[in-house]
Amino acid sequence: MLSYRHSYHAGNYADVIKHIVLIEILEHLTKKENAFDYIDTHAGAGLYNLHSEHAAKLQEYTQGIGKLRRQDWPELASYFDVIASYNSDDNLSFYPGSPLIASNFLRRQDRSWLYELHPRDAELLLENSGKQKGVRVMYEDGFKGMEALLPPVSRRGLVLIDPSYEIKTDYGQVFDAIDSAYKKFPTGTYALWYPVVDRKNIDVLERRLIKSGIKKIQQFELGIAADQFGSGMSASGMIVINSPWTLKDKMAKVLPKLVTALGGEGGFYKCADLVGE
């Protein structure tokens, strides 16, 4: 269960869509002076060397962030600004994970709660994030940690849920975690990342969310190929609860361009309301 290392996959197309959504939500939260809490249930190591042995093995970033040029994406200026802040020149050597991306938007009054269960990644996460003000790194189960924190003292918050889905029960676990969290903190924003390896798992997750009574659910998905069981991840998406009003419009403009830039034959995108207000 603890074998997954994001260092093999950092900067791939799944990271691209995940982090574009993440930044849009964070920028919206910072428009108000009021403090907010950022909770990352599966934080990973925080920063990834794209020339490391792990990244070089699969080179997934070359089919993700490596295919995008800043000058072609003025609408993603904040995303490229964050990436540039971890690279000393125009060469792409490092890619920040969600904890470090979030740290670029946290203000003095905000708090970040980062959970990671892989022992080595938890150590790296502490090295990469632990010295920052307002950031707490926990070597604990992120679902249990999230449950204990909600509702946050600030009464404003973003929860990013990004498990590895190494086992099929993860799909059920993420629904149970969101369902429970929403009952405690219905005004929070929840961003759930998911991979499409077997579309049936996502169909079940969608149906459970639709029937849950949770309101204001949006879905954004980027497919690089038509669904094909047994051939690995062919699409990746984000399900967002209580998203900012700007997010759907932003993704409706960005996703078609991403399909053109990153998708292959059969590439597609989704940008839809699963449940209205």
Q: Is 170 helix (H, G, I), strand (E, B) or coil?
A: helix
* 119: number of Cβ within 10 Å: 10
How far is it between the farthest Cα atoms of the chain? Answer: 49
Give the HSE-up count for residue 58: Cα atoms under 13 Å, Cβ half-sphere. Answer: 14
Pull the structure tokens for residue 146: 């999230």
Residue 276's Cβ-count burial label (10 Å; 0-12, 13-18, 19+) is exposed
For the chain, state the CA radius of gyration: 17
Q: Are 17 and 258 in contact (CB under 8 A)?
A: yes
From 37, 162, 179, 198, the catalytic residue? 162
Backbone angles phi, psi at 27, to 5 degrees: -65, -35
Rounded to an integer, what distance in angstroms lies between the CA atom of residue 277 and that of residue 262? Answer: 32
Residues ≥6 apart with Cβ < 8 Å to 91: none
Q: Is 273 a catalytic residue?
A: no
List for the chain the helix, strand, coil content (%; round to 5): 45, 20, 40
Distance CA 50, CA 8 (A): 9
Task: Give dist(CA 16, CA 25) in Å, integer.
Answer: 15
The answer to whether 123 and 137 have CB atoms below 8 angstroms apart is: no
The answer to whether residues 40 and 136 touch, using CB atoms and an 8 Å cutoff, is no
Active-site positions? Answer: 162
